[in-house]
């Protein structure tokens, strides 16, 4: 068995595209292998700042031969048809076989050499590689993310030739651009390729680069009695920017520590891709940074570290300029400038949005238990920082800066925190606000976006969700669930939309909640059983589900569901024959099991209604569980389809009463059997 | 860095001229119309269009009225210098050529961390964009490196590679200075040593006041509208060889662009108007680009050689 190795050496590939490129490379290779009959061959792909690498193992030297029987004309068909068939298949008359009065030609398709197939695969996948952004270079026609500088294509130790824009693939690769032996080197197989690259200061695997960065950075921090502020996104990015990662530590003037920590960290991360450090045992930042550089200088890291430190100081100096300037203007004044900032062509300016948030925050305060005036003030000022210098420079700091500026003006702490937390939660790892004022504003922010975009028909489809509406809805759901808020979304969204909620929005919320519950491990049939109830309150729907889950885990619950299903089956069968009997029972009930069940339903109904009204869903289901014994006894002893019509009618009425009662808690019919 | 004395500001330019001149570039002078970036010089914007090969290098003083700080800020200038290189088509070893130019000015890539960091360039007023990087030296951005894909709203073929060095930044780095005004403009041992501040500080002060406080907005607006009328008129006019007057028309696009920047610096452009102004300039530029490409094509098919210049 043989190995195929492909390397596409290029100029620097954006770090953010590398992981996706490795996945796409592997996928395209698998598709090509499957089409060529090599679906078993293991595929690995690697991406780094200057190269994509693909290695395929366990390949045969050639495809297996394929034998195909090609159907021709019938015996006795006109001679012209037969001649045509012979011409098109290239066989002679005596080589034809006759099966059931039809001519067949046995055609053997010779398996092609794997080297040729690999070369074709490489050329084809390069030609249709799905880079998010690509370019042409020089007089070439091939699109790639940046100019291609070298192609290595080796099958079983030999070049599998192809060419791109006149550039021929060969057996040579190159190491690090400036370190080690920088000339091209010949490659025989993947293991030697990887080893030779490493000798030339290139770490092929992203995970190795990441581990090297993390180990080095932690060691530097520990050596200085500090702790690394870990940042997985930054780690991923820096690992994509270097072939030979070398973490170095530098420092900056401690006077800059008076800036908000978020500002320092964002400046470091966004502008310079530096890691921050904090003092051991304390939460506060230390006046140091770690940069990940791509070389080991023969003079040591001093010059490089000093250069990086100088750049960071200039950046921090800029940040301090914004911080000082921004604090000279009150948020209330800054807010006026939002009239010049368009939110969306159909949804007005940011000032319009700020006005809507003020109203909505005041209204939502009633549901979160917040002081309505504080919530309204926070909503009113929430977007003012979008017109500040700092947020202009670092959009990631929106909200956070507003919080600082509010605090600086002496506004209530609840207000500053609500402004700071308005965009939360931003993702699964981000905490949802829990203070009542902050909840009101964070809800208002998301509900306003959702109402607006649904009203103008900008609804997410498939993978397209340009306004992050799914995240907004999930944010509302998390705030409601984690704080056990009752939010009648129909009323709230109706009011925000000036009448009815925008079409599809309540369902959108219910769908997001379903997805979230499934991700948390809830069973799809149980989710469906609960969502059959017309409820627009996300926290309440979740409580219903939790109660149902507890109920079904109990013995009574599981048995009662069996009883429900039996009742529902009988009713369904009867309904097919004609309308089911309605109204109250017409006769004295016998036997005793029938009367017991009738009594149990009569006792259960008011208790259930009261538990449901009190939103004690666990209690409601415990009430239903009381029906289990009489239901079981009924089915054990009583024949529903009695011969006497009046008896049968009463018993069908009883079954209808039971199923109707139970459906108030959940659609038990939706549960999997 | 090597043992030799760091280059002065003017020596930096002379080294780059020598380096790129030796690599086939015509060494041009700055364009004599106010521009915000070296790209806008017709030697880049117009020459990037059409099929003819082209290599040029030049310094371009670049005016950014909004960045004026009255000479008070150590790093921010309303007028700074870009060193601009255009190589059409971009040669396969352009990155190596670029690294060689850094070595030529005393930045040794074996001793400094040189990195190519994703930064896709676009200039909406001239309808141009490309893919490339900002180049970092020890964490500092010293150049912009772009492979043009569109100019004047038109796809380019062949592709040009463009290098833009921020000369003040580069000089700060090479000389290890913290304030731009402290940079050695010429050799400190020369009989008449001058700092950058001695040459340009007064200009920063006066022009900051003019551009941020005293420029006459009403007049700027009128001039802008004049330019807007001139461009189509000149493109419709015909020269002695029957050609549209593309180069004069393009000058008027540049003037319109600078007038827009001045109005912007005076705070006279409402946010809502911005896009509309940019769109107007882009349309003017597109007209020039289309006329230029047509002229290039007819010139090359009618055997008149390399076209007008």
Residues of B in contact with A269 (CB under 8 A): none
Q: Does A340 contact chain B (CB < 8 Å)?
A: yes
- CB A224, CB A284: distance < 8 Å: no
Report the DSSP pairing between strands B154-155 and B54-63.
Answer: unpaired
**Least CB–CB distance from A138: residue in B113, B159, B178:** B159
> Which pTM value belongs to this model?
0.81
Chain Cα centroid distance, residue A289 = 32
Class of domain A349-527: mainly alpha
Nearest residue of chain A to residue B269 (CA atoms): A340
pLDDT, tens digit (0-9, with 9 covering 90-100), for A452-471:
999 999 999 888 888 899 99
Between the CA of residue A274 and those of A293, A308, A383, B117, what are the distances in Å? 10, 9, 29, 14
Residues of A in contact with B99 (CB under 8 A): 177
Q: Where are the alpha helices (DSSP H) in A36-134?
A: 79-89, 114-127
Q: Where are the alpha helices (DSSP H) in A169-231?
A: 190-199, 206-223
Strands of the sheet containing A148-155, edge to edge, are A43-47, A51-59, A2-10, A148-155, A158-159
Residue owning tokens 């395929």: A56
**Least CB–CB distance from B118: residue in A14, A149, A311:** A14
- Map residue B58 onto helix, strand or coil: strand
CATH superfamily assigned to domain A554-670: Isoleucyl-tRNA Synthetase; Domain 1 (1.10.730.10)
Backbone angles phi, psi at A103, to 5 degrees: -80, 140
Q: Does B138 contact chain A (CB < 8 Å)?
A: yes
Residues of B in contact with A272 (CB under 8 A): 139
**Least CB–CB distance from B117: residue in A241, A307, A308:** A241
Report the DSSP pairing between strands A167-168 and A163-164.
Answer: antiparallel
Interface test with A, best of B51, B122, B138, B264 (most A CBs within 10 A): B138
CB spacing of B110 vs A139 below 8 angstroms: no
Mean pLDDT confidence for A259-271:
94
- pLDDT at residue B304 is higher than 80: no
pLDDT, tens digit (0-9, with 9 covering 90-100), for B173-211:
999 888 999 999 999 999 999 999 999 999 999 999 999
Residue owning tokens 């003083």: B61
**Least CB–CB distance from A135: residue in B1, B138, B149:** B149
Q: Does B75 contact chain A (CB < 8 Å)?
A: yes
CA distance A94 to chain B (A): 58
Q: Which of A585, A566, A598 is nearest to A669 (CA)?
A: A566
The DSSP annotation for A447-516 comes to: HHHHHHHHHTT---BTTB-TT-HHHHHHHHHHHHHHTT----HHHHHHHHTTSSPPTTHHHHHHHHHHHH
Q: Does B121 contact chain A (CB < 8 Å)?
A: no
Q: Is the peptide bond before A443 cis (omega within 30 degrees of 0)?
A: no
Q: Does A348 contact chain B (CB < 8 Å)?
A: no
Q: Tally DSSP H helices, then E strands, for chain A.
A: 25, 18
CB spacing of B139 vs A303 below 8 angstroms: no
**What pLDDT is stored for residue A261 in this prediction?**
94
- Map residue A287 onto helix, strand or coil: strand
Q: pLDDT over 90 for what percent of chain A?
A: 78
Instruction: Judge residue A196's burial from the number of C-beta atoms within 10 Å of its C-beta, 0-12 exposed, 13-18 middle, 19 or more buried.
Output: middle
- Map residue B82 onto helix, strand or coil: strand
Nearest residue of chain A to residue B91 (CA atoms): A138
- CB B269, CB B26: distance < 8 Å: no
Q: Does B6 contact chain A (CB < 8 Å)?
A: no
CA distance B233 to chain A (A): 34
Residues of B in contact with A306 (CB under 8 A): 138
Mean pLDDT confidence for A230-239:
96
**What pLDDT is stored for residue B303 in this prediction?**
46
Query: Can you tell me the distance from the alpha carbon of A190 to that of A187, in angstroms, rounded to the nearest whole number?
Result: 8
Chain Cα centroid distance, residue A606 = 44
Residues of A in contact with B157 (CB under 8 A): 136, 139
pLDDT, tens digit (0-9, with 9 covering 90-100), for A473-519:
999 999 999 999 999 999 999 999 999 999 999 999 999 999 999 99
Q: Which of B127, B178, B79, B188 is nearest to A309 (CA)?
A: B178
Which of 109-138 (A) contact B at CB < 8 A?
A: 133-138
Between the CA of residue B241 and those of A189, A579, B109, B294, B307, what are the distances in Å? 63, 95, 50, 14, 12
**Least CB–CB distance from A314: residue in B75, B111, B130:** B75
**ipTM field:** 0.92
Q: What torsion, rounded to 10 degrees, do the Cα atoms A24, A27, A29, A32 define? A: -130
Q: Output the six-digit token pair for B129.
A: 């964009």
CB spacing of B118 vs A16 below 8 angstroms: yes
Nearest residue of chain A to residue B119 (CA atoms): A14
Query: Can you tell me the distance from the alpha carbon of A172 to that of A200, in angstroms, rounded to the nearest whole number?
Result: 13
pLDDT band per the 50, 70, 90 thresholds, residue A581: confident
Residue owning tokens 């300029």: A321
Residues of B in contact with A295 (CB under 8 A): 110, 113
Q: Is the peptide bond before A288 cis (omega within 30 degrees of 0)?
A: no
Query: Can you tell me the distance from the alpha carbon of A208 to that of A390, in angstroms, rounded to the nearest whole number?
Result: 36
Q: Output the six-digit token pair for A508.
A: 């959108």
Q: Which of A438, A333, A431, A446 is nearest to A378 (CA)?
A: A438
Q: Where are the alpha helices (DSSP H) in A272-371?
A: 302-326, 331-336, 350-368
Domain ranges for chain A, please list them.
2-62+113-199, 67-109, 206-326, 349-527, 554-670
Greatest Cα pair distance in chain B: 58
**Least CB–CB distance from B131: residue in A133, A242, A340:** A133
Residues of B in contact with A311 (CB under 8 A): 138-140
Neighbouring residues of A615: CB distance < 8 A, sequence distance ≥ 6? A540, A543
Backbone angles phi, psi at A141, to 5 degrees: -120, -20
Interface test with A, best of B113, B155, B158, B178 (most A CBs within 10 A): B113
Least confident of A111-125, A505-519, B294-308: B294-308
CB spacing of B140 vs A310 below 8 angstroms: yes
**What pLDDT is stored for residue B1 in this prediction?**
43
Mean pLDDT confidence for A59-88:
90
Nearest residue of chain A to residue B174 (CA atoms): A307
- CB A480, CB A540: distance < 8 Å: no
Query: Can you tell me the distance from the alpha carbon of A474 to that of A511, in angstroms, rounded to the nearest whole number?
Result: 10
- pLDDT at residue B2 is higher than 50: no
More confident residue, B102 or B66: B102
pLDDT, tens digit (0-9, with 9 covering 90-100), for B118-161:
999 999 888 999 999 999 999 999 999 999 999 999 999 999 99
Q: Does A312 contact chain B (CB < 8 Å)?
A: yes
Instruction: Judge residue A492's burial from the number of C-beta atoms within 10 Å of its C-beta, 0-12 exposed, 13-18 middle, 19 or more buried.
Output: buried
- CB A119, CB A164: distance < 8 Å: no
Q: Does B148 contact chain A (CB < 8 Å)?
A: no
Nearest residue of chain B to residue A49 (CA atoms): B116
CA distance B270 to chain A (A): 7
Q: Which of B111, B99, B97 is nearest to A179 (CA)?
A: B111
Neighbouring residues of A649: CB distance < 8 A, sequence distance ≥ 6? A581, A586
Query: Can you tell me the distance from the alpha carbon of A82 to that of A95, in angstroms, rounded to the nearest whole number?
Result: 13
Q: Does B91 contact chain A (CB < 8 Å)?
A: yes
**Least CB–CB distance from A11: residue in B91, B95, B137:** B95
DSSP A274: P
Interface test with B, best of A11, A267, A268 (most B CBs within 10 A): A11
**What pLDDT is stored for residue B307 in this prediction?**
43
Least confident of A637-641, A669-673, B91-95: A669-673
A2-62+113-199 CATH pick, 3.30.70, 3.30.470, 1.25.40, 3.30.499: 3.30.70
Q: Does B270 contact chain A (CB < 8 Å)?
A: yes
Altogether, the residues listed in chain B come to a count of: 309
**What pLDDT is stored for residue A427 in this prediction?**
86
Query: Can you tell me the distance from the alpha carbon of B22 to that of B303, in angstroms, rounded to the nearest whole number?
Result: 29
Greatest Cα pair distance in chain A: 105
Residues of B in contact with A139 (CB under 8 A): 89, 157-159
Neighbouring residues of A259: CB distance < 8 A, sequence distance ≥ 6? A316, A319, A320, A323
- Rounded to a whole number of angstroms, the distance between the first and last alpha carbons of chain B is 40
Q: State the angle between helix axes of A206-223 and A232-239 in degrees (0 to 180), rounded to the nearest 10.
A: 120
**What pLDDT is stored for residue B308 in this prediction?**
44
pLDDT, tens digit (0-9, with 9 covering 90-100), for A609-631:
999 999 999 999 999 988 999 99
Residues of A in contact with B87 (CB under 8 A): none
The DSSP annotation for A559-610 comes to: HHHHHHHHHHHHHHHHHHHSPPP-SS--S---SHHHHHHHHHHHHHHHHHHH
pLDDT band per the 50, 70, 90 thresholds, residue B271: low
Query: Can you tell me the distance from the alpha carbon of B143 to that of A322, in angstroms, rounded to the nearest whole number?
Result: 25
- pLDDT at residue B236 is higher than 70: yes
- CB A548, CB A529: distance < 8 Å: yes
CB spacing of A304 vs B138 below 8 angstroms: yes
CB spacing of B116 vs A178 below 8 angstroms: no
CB spacing of A341 vs B139 below 8 angstroms: no
Q: Does A341 contact chain B (CB < 8 Å)?
A: yes
- pLDDT at residue A365 is higher than 60: yes
Mean pLDDT of chain A: 93
- Rounded to a whole number of angstroms, the distance between the first and last alpha carbons of chain A is 50
Q: Which of A554, A536, A521 is nearest to A625 (CA)?
A: A554
CA distance B296 to chain A (A): 17
Q: Does B276 contact chain A (CB < 8 Å)?
A: no
Nearest residue of chain A to residue B114 (CA atoms): A294
Q: Does B151 contact chain A (CB < 8 Å)?
A: no
pLDDT, tens digit (0-9, with 9 covering 90-100), for A509-558:
999 999 999 999 999 999 999 999 989 999 999 999 999 999 998 888 88
- pLDDT at residue B306 is higher than 50: no
pLDDT, tens digit (0-9, with 9 covering 90-100), for A24-50:
999 999 999 999 999 999 999 999 999
Q: Does B137 contact chain A (CB < 8 Å)?
A: yes
Q: Quick count: other Cβ atoms within 10 Å of Cβ A282?
A: 9
Q: Does A294 contact chain B (CB < 8 Å)?
A: yes
Query: Can you tell me the distance from the alpha carbon of A513 to that of A516, in angstroms, rounded to the nearest whole number?
Result: 5
Q: Which of A412, A435, A420 is nearest to A385 (CA)?
A: A420
Query: Can you tell me the distance from the alpha carbon of A335 to that of A509, in angstroms, rounded to the nearest whole number?
Result: 31
pLDDT band per the 50, 70, 90 thresholds, residue A438: very high
Neighbouring residues of B13: CB distance < 8 A, sequence distance ≥ 6? B59, B81, B83, B167
Element (H, E) at B155: strand B154-155
Q: Does A345 contact chain B (CB < 8 Å)?
A: no
**What pLDDT is stored for residue A250 in this prediction?**
96
**What pLDDT is stored for residue A456 in this prediction?**
93
**What pLDDT is stored for residue B272 in this prediction?**
65
- CB A449, CB A443: distance < 8 Å: no
């Amino acid at each position: 068995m043989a190995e195929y190795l492909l390397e596409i050496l290029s100029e620097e590939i954006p770090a953010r595209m590398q992981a996706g490129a490795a996945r796409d490379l592997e996928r395209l290779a698998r598709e090509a292998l499957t089409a060529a009959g090599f679906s078993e061959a293991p595929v690995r792909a690697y991406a780094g700042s200057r190269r994509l690498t693909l290695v395929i193992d366990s390949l045969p030297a050639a495809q297996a031969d394929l034998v195909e029987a090609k159907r021709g004309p019938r015996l006795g068909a006109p001679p012209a048809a037969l001649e045509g068939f012979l011409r098109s298949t290239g066989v002679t008359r005596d080589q034809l076989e006759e099966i059931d009065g039809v001519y067949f030609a046995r055609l053997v398709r010779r398996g092609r050499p794997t080297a040729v197939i690999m070369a074709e695969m490489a050329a084809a996948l390069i030609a249709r590689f799905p880079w998010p952004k690509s370019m042409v270079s020089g007089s070439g026609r091939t699109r790639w993310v940046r100019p291609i500088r070298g192609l290595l294509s080796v099958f079983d130790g030999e070049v599998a030739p192809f060419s791109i824009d006149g550039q021929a693939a060969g057996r040579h690769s190159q190491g690090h651009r400036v370190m080690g032996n920088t000339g091209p080197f010949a490659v025989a197989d993947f293991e030697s390729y990887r080893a030779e690259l490493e000798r030339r200061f290139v770490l092929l695997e992203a995970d190795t680069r990441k581990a090297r960065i993390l180990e080095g950075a932690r060691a530097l921090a520990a050596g200085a009695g500090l702790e690394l502020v870990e940042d997985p996104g930054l780690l991923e990015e820096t690992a994509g920017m270097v072939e030979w990662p070398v973490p170095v530590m530098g420092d900056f003037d401690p006077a800059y520590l008076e800036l908000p920590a978020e500002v320092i960290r964002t400046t470091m991360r966004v502008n310079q891709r530096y890691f921050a450090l904090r003092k051991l045992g304390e939460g506060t930042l230390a006046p140091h940074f770690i940069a990940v550089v791509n070389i080991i200088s023969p003079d040591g890291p001093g010059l490089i570290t000093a250069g990086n430190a100088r750049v960071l100081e200039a950046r921090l100096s800029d940040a301090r300029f914004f911080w000082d300037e921004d604090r000279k203007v009150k948020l209330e004044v800054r807010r006026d400038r939002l009239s010049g900032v368009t939110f969306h062509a159909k949804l007005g300016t940011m000032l319009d949005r700020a006005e809507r948030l003020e109203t909505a925050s005041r209204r939502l305060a009633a549901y979160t238990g917040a002081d309505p005036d504080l919530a309204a003030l926070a909503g009113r000022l929430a977007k003012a920082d979008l017109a500040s210098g700092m947020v202009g420079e670092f959009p990631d700091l929106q909200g956070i800066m507003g919080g600082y500026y509010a605090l600086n003006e002496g506004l209530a702490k609840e207000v500053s925190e609500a402004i700071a937390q308005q965009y939360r939660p931003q993702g699964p790892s981000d905490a949802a606000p829990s203070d009542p004022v902050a909840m009101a504003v964070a809800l208002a922010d998301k509900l306003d976006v959702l109402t607006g975009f649904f009203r103008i028909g900008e609804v997410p489809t498939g993978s397209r969700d340009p306004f992050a509406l799914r995240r907004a809805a999930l944010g509302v759901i998390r705030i409601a669930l984690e704080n056990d808020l009752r939010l009648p979304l129909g009323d709230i969204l109706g009011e925000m939309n000036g009448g009815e909620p925008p079409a599809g929005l309540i369902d959108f919320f219910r769908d997001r909640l379903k997805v979230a519950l499934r991700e948390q491990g809830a069973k799809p049939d149980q989710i469906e059983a609960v969502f059959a109830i017309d409820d627009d309150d996300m926290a309440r729907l979740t409580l219903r589900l939790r109660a149902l889950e507890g109920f079904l885990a109990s013995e009574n619950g599981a048995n009662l569901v069996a009883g429900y299903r039996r009742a529902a089956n009988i009713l369904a069968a009867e309904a097919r024959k004609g309308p089911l009997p309605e109204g109250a029972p017409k006769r004295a009930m016998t036997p005793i099991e029938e009367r017991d069940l009738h009594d149990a339903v009569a006792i259960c109904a008011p208790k259930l209604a009261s538990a449901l009204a009190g939103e004690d869903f666990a209690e409601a289901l415990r009430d239903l569980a009381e029906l289990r014994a009489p239901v079981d006894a009924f089915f054990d002893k009583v024949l529903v389809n009695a011969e006497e019509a009046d008896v049968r009618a009463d018993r069908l009425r009883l079954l209808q009463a039971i199923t109707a009662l139970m459906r108030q808690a959940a659609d038990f019919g939706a549960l999997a059997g | 860095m090597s043992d030799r004395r760091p280059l002065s500001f003017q020596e930096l330019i002379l080294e780059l001229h020598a380096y790129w001149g030796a690599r086939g570039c015509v060494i041009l002078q700055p364009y004599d119309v106010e521009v915000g970036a070296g790209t806008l010089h017709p030697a880049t914007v117009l020459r990037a269009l059409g099929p003819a090969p082209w290599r040029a290098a030049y310094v371009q003083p670049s005016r950014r009225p909004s960045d004026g700080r009255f000479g008070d800020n150590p790093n921010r200038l309303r007028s700074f210098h870009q060193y601009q290189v255009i190589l059409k088509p971009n040669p396969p070893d352009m990155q190596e050529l670029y690294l060689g130019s850094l070595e030529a000015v005393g930045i040794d890539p074996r001793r400094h961390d040189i990195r190519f960091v994703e930064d896709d360039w676009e200039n909406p007023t001239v309808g141009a964009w490309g893919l490339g990087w900002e180049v970092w030296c020890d964490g500092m951005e010293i150049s912009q490196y772009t492979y043009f894909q569109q100019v004047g709203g038109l796809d380019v073929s062949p592709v040009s590679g463009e290098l833009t060095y921020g000369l003040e930044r580069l000089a700060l780095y090479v000389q290890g200075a913290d304030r731009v005004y402290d940079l050695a403009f010429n050799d400190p041992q020369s009989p008449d040593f001058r700092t950058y501040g001695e040459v340009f500080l007064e200009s920063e002060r006066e022009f900051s006041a003019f551009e941020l406080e005293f420029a006459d907005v009403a007049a700027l607006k009128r001039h802008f509208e004049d330019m807007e009328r001139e461009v189509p008129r000149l493109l419709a006019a015909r020269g002695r060889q029957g050609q549209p007057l593309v180069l004069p028309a393009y000058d008027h696009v540049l003037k319109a662009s600078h007038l827009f920047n001045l109005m912007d610096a005076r705070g006279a452009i409402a946010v809502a108007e911005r896009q509309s102004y940019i769109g107007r300039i882009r349309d003017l530029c597109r007209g020039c680009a289309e006329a230029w490409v047509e002229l290039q094509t007819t010139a090359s098919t009618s055997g008149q050689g390399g076209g007008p210049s």
